[in-house]
Amino acid sequence: MSFALIANLLGFAVLLYGLNYLQRKGKTLSRLVLVGVVGGSLFGLLLQLTSSSPELIKATIDWVNVVGNGYVSLLKMIIMPLILISMISAVVKLEKSASLGKISGLTIGVLLFTTLISALIGIFVAYGFDLSIEGLVQGSRETARLALIESRAGQVSDISIPQLLVSFIPANPFADLTGARSTSMIAVVIFGILIGIAALKVCAENEKLAKPIHTAVDTAQALIMRLVKMVMALTPYGILALMTKVVSTSDAADIMKLLSFIVASYVAIFLMFVVHGFLVSLVGVSPKTYFQKIWPVLTFAFTSRSSAATIPLNVEAQITKLNVPPAIANLSASFGATIGQNGCAGIYPAMLAVMVAPSVGIDPMSISFIVSLVSIVIISSFGIAGVGGGATFAALIVLPVMGLPIEIVALLISIEPLIDMARTALNVSGAMTAGTITSRLLKRKQGALTEPQKQVEGSTI
Q: What is the pLDDT of residue 431?
A: 93
pLDDT of residue 385: 47
pLDDT of residue 91: 78
Q: Of 3.40.50.720, 1.10.10.10, 3.40.50.920, 1.10.3860.10, which CATH number belongs to 79-231+250-457?
A: 1.10.3860.10
Q: Are 262 and 419 in contact (CB under 8 A)?
A: yes
Residue with the bigger pLDDT between 150 and 8: it is 8
Q: State how far the alpha carbon of 425 is from the alpha carbons of 60, 87, 259, 415, 432, in Å.
A: 27, 24, 20, 17, 11
Most confident of 101-105, 326-330, 351-355, 451-455: 351-355
The beta strands (E) that lie in 84-214 are given as none
Q: Residue 169: pLDDT above 90?
A: no
DSSP string, 84-100: HHHHHHHHHT-S-THHH
Q: Which of 2-6, 31-35, 291-295, 451-455 is predicted with the least confidence, judged by mean pLDDT?
A: 451-455
- CB of 125 within 8 A of CB of 351? yes
With a pLDDT cut of 70, the percent of the chain lying above it is: 82
Cα–Cα distance between 426 and 78 in angstroms, integer?
A: 22
Q: Read off the pLDDT band of 210 (50, 70, 90).
A: confident
**Predicted local confidence at residue 454, as pLDDT:** 41
Give the C-alpha separation, 43 to 39, whole Å. 6
- What's the pLDDT tens digit per position in 226-265? 888 888 788 889 888 988 887 887 666 656 656 788 899 9
Predicted local distance difference test score (pLDDT) of residue 448: 33
Per-domain boundaries in the chain: 79-231+250-457
What's the confidence (pLDDT) of residue 98?
56
For 177-209, how does the pLDDT look when each residue is reduced to its tens digit (9 = 90+)? 887 776 777 788 889 889 988 998 898 888 889
pLDDT, tens digit, 9 for 90 and up, residues 103-156:
888 998 999 999 999 999 999 999 998 887 765 545 545 555 555 555 555 554
Please report the pLDDT score of residue 104 as a whole number. Answer: 83
Contact 62, 8 (CB under 8 A): no
Segment 295-336, tens digit of pLDDT: 989 988 888 878 888 888 898 899 989 999 888 888 888 888
